[in-house]
Amino acid sequence: MSHIERDVHQRHEKPAVIAVMGEAVWHEQFDAERVERLARTYEPVCVPSLESREVRTRLDDVDVLLTSWGATRIDAATLSRMPLLRAVLHVPDRHAGPCAMRCGNAASLSPPAPT
């Protein structure tokens, strides 16, 4: 487990953020400085999927989900297991996030939902 990941069994004192993306995507999207900033306020965990038993046991504590391209689909059943969830933020592109963050904005970019 890398230094940015936390034991998914550990109860957190800060709001929980689960990033659903591969480790390579995580490192591309979040450099060390951004991870440190995120960790000051939140308890970040990076996982490739929400399907493992260890992750499912933590869903009832998650406050924010970060997703990126290739993330597993989040359906109604999965959302129902996250009673504390306040936001789902999609991070589609490594270029958009840094620009928004330099401007001091919180940004979520997402393609339109299929109709």
The residue extents of the domains of the chain are: 16-102
Alpha helices (runs of H) in the chain, residue ranges in sequence order: 23-29, 32-41, 53-56, 76-80, 96-102
CATH number assigned to the domain with residue range 16-102, chosen from the 4 options 1.10.8.640, 3.40.605.10, 3.10.520.10, 3.40.50.720? 3.40.50.720
> In whole numbers, what is the pLDDT of the chain averaged over residues?
75
Residue 105's CB: how many other CB atoms inside 10 A? 8
pTM listed for this prediction:
0.68
**Band of pLDDT at residue 55, cut at 50, 70 and 90:** confident
User: What pLDDT score does 83 carry?
Assistant: 92
Residue 9: pLDDT band (50, 70, 90) is very low
pLDDT digits (tens, 9 = 90+) for 60-103: 999 999 888 777 788 888 889 999 998 888 876 554 445 444 54
Torsions phi, psi for 6 (to 5 deg): -115, 155
Residue 19 pLDDT > 60, yes or no? Answer: yes
- DSSP 8-state symbol, 83: T
Which positions ≥6 away from 22 have C-beta within 8 Å? 48, 70
